Amino acid sequence: MLNNKKIAVDFDGTIVDDAYPAIGKPKIFAFETLKRLQAEGFRLILWTYRHGKTLDEAVEFCRKNGIEFYAVNSSFEGEVFDPASQSRKLDADWFIDDRNLGGFPGWGEIYNIIQERIEFRVEGREVLPYSKLKKEKKKGLFW
């Protein structure tokens, strides 16, 4: 299945437990979910604070776990960033990061969010995906 959607994924705290500059243990279902998304045609971008040697180690760790990225810290492979003429904002459809508003929901929930195109809303002091909202009973004459 071809898919043009790009997903930017953080490394520390998202793919692996945060142990920067070391590499933490893989998060439960992280690599399984990423492999499945790739098999469904999503293009994965590694979007991380890491650079130099620590970035190379993260990319190699992912490669050993079956993930080859479409791009690393850029919108596409080979992108040359010119701060005088470009924004540093990455061109991606979704961003997966442990520092998301509402925190990191886990890889199972992330897969469901992407597949079901789940949107979020604020209810009180919580950020909730619509899939987890309590269904209110309709009140009226005919229902």
Assigned architecture for domain 6-78+91-131: 3-Layer(aba) Sandwich (3.40)
Average pLDDT, the chain: 84
Among 12-26, 64-78, 112-126, name the one with the lowest average pLDDT: 112-126
Contact 16, 104 (CB under 8 A): no
How many helices (H) does the chain have, and how many strands (E)? Answer: 3, 6
Is-cis flag, bond preceding 26, omega within 30? no
Q: Categorize the per-residue pLDDT at 133 as very low, low, confident or very high, splitting at 50, 70 and 90.
A: very low
* Non-local CB neighbours of 100 within 8 Å, separated by 6+ positions: none
- In the block, which residue shows the tokens 């994924």? 9
CA–CA gap between residue 45 and residue 95 (Å, rounded): 9
Bridge pairing between strands 43-46 and 94-96? unpaired
Q: Look at 2 and 60; give whichever has higher pLDDT.
A: 60
- Does residue 137 carry a pLDDT above 70? no
CA distances 98 to 64, 117, 138, Å, are 22, 19, 36
- Does residue 106 carry a pLDDT above 70? yes
- Give the pair of three-digit tokens for residue 71: 């791009």
Q: Categorize the per-residue pLDDT at 142 as very low, low, confident or very high, splitting at 50, 70 and 90.
A: low
- Does residue 12 carry a pLDDT above 50? yes
- Does residue 16 carry a pLDDT above 80? yes
Say whether pTM exceeds 0.95: no
Residue 27: per-residue pLDDT: 96
Among 15-29, 44-58, 114-128, name the one with the lowest average pLDDT: 114-128
CA distances 16 to 3, 9, 20, 48, Å, are 26, 11, 10, 12
Is residue 102 helix, strand or coil? coil
- Give the pair of three-digit tokens for residue 56: 């190379």
- Give the pair of three-digit tokens for residue 9: 């994924």
